[in-house]
Structure 1
Amino acid sequence: MIDHVYISVTNIDKSLTFYSSALKPLGWKVFGNYDSASGPEGVPDLYGIGDDMYGNGKAVGSSVWLRQRKVGETGLYLGIVCDTNELVDAAYAAAIKAGGTDEGKPADRTYFAHGYYAANVADFDGNRIEFVHKAWNPKRHV
């Protein structure tokens, strides 16, 4: 399941209006911003829009986060749900073994939220994957 996607945009305000309007009929809404000043260097300011399940603790939800595009930037940032920290570790190890580039070893990312455990990898084209376990998400039934 996809947890979140970062979309790099040239105009945050215009894009926030567009995405929140386009997704509103589907039950999505703007739920908040992430100020990069509270995190490590390289994590951008983020502007979140989520579905009706995102963050409610009843089911796993999805979100889109807008970020200011940097000059020459392309590619995708995709967050993939993992049901445990161990699955984050396993997916990260498999991605590195397959030739991915480390962009953040598995670790707690408490600057996002308590119980947020993740690892980051880039593919050969600079697309990024975040494997993430959020302790507050209920287990998925597969």
Structure 2
Amino acid sequence: MLDHLGIQVADVEVSLAFYLRALGPLGVQELMRIPVDGSFVVGLGGPDGVPTFWLSHAAGEETRELHIAFRAPDRASVDLVHAAALAEGVEVLHAPREWPEYHPGYYGVFLRDLDGHNVEAVHHGAPTAA
């Protein structure tokens, strides 16, 4: 349904570094950089080379929390996102686990980005055996 998503951040360079470190295990990389008014807009994407997640400088203070979920190819990648977040001192809202209330096999980790947004890495797979 969605083609791409853009969010505004207080500091594009700092937020870019956060997303590259935290979501690097999912293959997230910088694909485009467009200079704008002393800053830049950056397009991030995965191995397909399509920029689907964009960061740009906020015109004002953010007043609402966004929830952004990035699809992981497997549970190990979700765990790697968690490890990267811990290594960077990022606030972990919820450590990796299965969330059966969403659906069996829903395995995710939830982080707080530098602008206060709830960022998730999730894998939709087979549930673990009980």
What is the TM-score with the length of structure 1 in the denominator?
0.43
If each structure's strand is expressed as a fraction of its own residues, which one has the higher value? 2
What is the TM-score with the length of structure 2 in the denominator?
0.46
